[in-house]
A and B are shown apart, each in its own frame.
Chain A
Amino acid sequence: MTTELLSYSLIPLLSALAIPFLGRKNRKITEILANVTLLAGLANLAYMIFHPMNRNSGYAVFSFDGLTMSMLFTIYLVAICCVFFASVSGMVKSEKNSFYPLVMISVSAMSSMVLAKDFFTLYIFMEALAVTSFALIASEEGTLGIEGAIKYLLLTFPASALIIIGISLMLLAGGSLRFDIMSQSFSTAHFAALAFITLGFAIKAGLFPFHFWTPDAYQGAPAAVSAYLAGVVTKISGMYALVKICMAVRLFGENAHAISSSLLLAGVITLVFASIAALTQKDMKRMLAFSSISQMGYIAAGAATLNPIGILGAILHIFNHATFKTVLFLNSASIEKSVGTTDMRKMGGLEKNMPFTSWTSIIALFSTAGVPPLSGFWSKLLIIISLWITGFKFAAVVALIFSIVTLAYFMTMQKKVFFGKPKEELKEAKEASPSMLAPAVLMSLIIVFSGIFFPYVFDFLEKTL
Chain B
Amino acid sequence: MTYNLFIYIIIAAAAILAVTAGKMLTSAIMLAVASIALSLLLFNFNAPWAAVFELSVCAGLITVLFISAVSLVKKEDESLKESRGKFLLLPFLALAAFITFSVILPPWFETLSGYAKYPAGEFKVGEIIWNLRSIDLLGQVTILAAAVFVVKSVFGKRSEQ
Contacts and interface: CB of A to CB of B under 8 A. Distances in A.
Given A139-B153, A175-B117, A1 B134 contact: yes
A457 interface: no
Interface residues of A, number: 52
Contacts of A125: 139, 142
B156 to A, nearest CB: 5
A141 B141 CA distance: 28
Contacts of B9: none
Interface stretch (B24-32, B41-49, B91-99, B143-151): B143-151
Given A61-B135, A109-B142, A174-B119, 18 more contacts: A1-B134, A9-B142, A13-B142, A16-B145, A27-B159, A95-B158, A98-B152, A101-B145, A105-B149, A112-B139, A112-B142, A116-B135, A124-B142, A128-B143, A172-B117, A173-B116, A176-B119, A192-B112
A89 B149 CA distance: 23
Contacts of A29: none
A173 B150 contact: no
Interface stretch (A130-138, A229-237, A293-301): A130-138
A262 B117 CA distance: 28
Interface of B: 111-113, 115-119, 133-136, 138-143, 145-147, 149-150, 152-154, 156-159, 161
A94 interface: yes
For the residues of B in contact with A, the DSSP-based class is: helix
A92 interface: yes
Contacts of A187: 115, 117
A131 B153 contact: no
A102 B158 contact: no
A346 B20 CA distance: 47
Contacts of B117: 172-175, 187
B145 A94 contact: no
Contact of B156 (A93, A98, A112, A116): A98
A463 B154 CA distance: 45
A141 B138 contact: no
Contacts, number: 118
B156 A173 contact: no
21 contacts: A1-B134, A13-B141, A16-B145, A16-B149, A27-B159, A94-B158, A94-B159, A97-B152, A98-B156, A99-B153, A102-B146, A105-B142, A124-B139, A132-B146, A135-B154, A136-B153, A138-B154, A172-B112, A173-B115, A174-B117, A187-B117
Contacts of A141: 158
Contacts of B146: 102, 105-106, 109, 128, 131-132, 135
A375 to B, nearest CB: 32
Minimum-distance CB pairs A-B, first 3: A124-B139, A175-B119, A98-B153
Interface string A181-194: 00000011100100
A96 interface: yes
A175 B152 CA distance: 38
A40 to B, nearest CB: 20
A328 to B, nearest CB: 26
B139 A188 contact: no
Interface centre among B118, B142, B152, B153 (most CB of A within 10 A): B142
B138 A9 contact: yes
A27 B153 CA distance: 15
Nearest to B120: A175
A121 B130 CA distance: 14
Interface of A: 1, 6, 9-10, 13, 16-17, 20, 27, 61-62, 90, 92-99, 101-102, 105-106, 108-109, 112, 116, 120-121, 124-125, 127-128, 131-132, 134-136, 138-139, 141, 169, 172-176, 187-189, 192
A109 B143 CA distance: 9
Contacts of B140: 124
A62 B146 CA distance: 22
Contact of A172 (B115, B135, B150, B154): B115
Contacts of B158: 93-95, 141
